[in-house]
Amino acid sequence: MDDLEPKIETDASRFLEQVQARTPARILTGRVGGSYTTRTWLELRADHAAARDAVRDEIDLEADLGRDFIDRWGLFEVSTLATSKDEYLLRPDLGRSLCVSARDEVAGRCPSGVDLQIVLGDGLSARAIVAQAPGLLPRLGDLATRAGWSLGRPFFVRRCRVGVLNDVGEILDPAVVVLLIGERPGLATAESLSAYLAYRPRNGHDDSRRNLISNIHARGVPRDQAARRIIHLAGRMIELATSGVSVKETWTPSLGDDSDLPRSLPETP
């Protein structure tokens, strides 16, 4: 039996490493008495600090995304009714509506009636936009173009909540709006992005009329896979002329090609 103990310990250690490698969640971290180990405790404190910073951080479009990226996409910035980060955090309702000047700017600078309108929003993690948008937006644009869709001019909404989708729909009337927005940071990552999609959103529409692809980050949903899922889901919405609870995602990973993606725009009823 003594001869088996090293092998058992090695197998258990290898199994533990494999489990921990598959998820950013803290599992089987060990303990000292009834407490965390010092290493785990310090990691928790560091990740909590990163999450708090992510909520409070502000985006500087040129400094964080780069002039080349901004010029390539014609990216511009507008704001919601929330006039400060404190007001944004205390009054979620103000983050769901564009301010008057923002509505005018969006109407004046973006084409209306396009097939796909992409919007960037800081949400509760500006860091998520900085980390994910430069890789995700070009892939979305490429896939939309290959599907033969018209693509609106993307823009960035400061102090943004998900409900801003409704204002975008009212102002521009795109077939599908995709909002790429920073998720509430957790203790696993502060760089997780969500993609909310809605078919012809309008004032009064709630979450039941929207679809979501979440956890877009390095150890979650990879950007390339997220882009394919977003375009596939947008195609389903256009085909069915609806979104939300009545639209189920049917995308499954293929062998690395895009054969499962829309190749042309379905007829809009």
How far apart (Å, rounded) are the C-alpha atoms in residues 190 and 221? Answer: 14
Domains annotated on the chain, with CATH: 56-240 (3.40.50.11240)
183 known ligand binder: yes
Give the single-character DSSP code of 2: G
Give the model's pLDDT for residue 267.
Answer: 46
How far apart (Å, rounded) are the C-alpha atoms in residues 55 and 134? Answer: 20
pLDDT digits (tens, 9 = 90+) for 21-69: 777 677 777 778 888 888 877 777 776 666 666 666 788 999 999 999 9
State yes or no: pLDDT of 138 exceeds 70: yes
> Of all residues in the chain, what percent carry a pLDDT higher than 70?
83
Contacts of 148 (CB under 8 A, 6+ apart): 263, 264, 265
167, with CB counted inside 10 A (0-12, 13-18, 19+), is: buried
State yes or no: pLDDT of 264 exceeds 70: no
Phi, then psi, of 234 in degrees rounded to 5: -60, -40
Would you tell me the crossing angle of helices 126-146 and 38-56 to the nearest 10 degrees?
70
CA 180 to chain centre: 4
pLDDT digits (tens, 9 = 90+) for 185-229: 665 677 889 999 999 999 999 999 999 999 999 888 999 999 999
How far apart (Å, rounded) are the C-alpha atoms in residues 9 and 150? Answer: 59
State yes or no: pLDDT of 91 exceeds 70: yes
> Of all residues in the chain, what percent carry a pLDDT higher than 90?
62
Q: Mean pLDDT of all residues in the chain? A: 86
19 known ligand binder: no
In contact, 193 and 183? CB cutoff 8 Å: yes
For the entire predicted model, the pTM comes to 0.81
Which tokens is 245 given? 């609870």
- Name which of 140, 96, 97 is nearest 118 in CA terms: 140
Give the model's pLDDT for residue 95.
Answer: 96
3-state secondary structure of 27: coil
DSSP for 136-153 reads HHHHHHHHHHHTT--BPP
Strand residues in the chain grouped as ranges (E): 77-79, 116-121, 155-158, 176-182, 193-199, 210-216
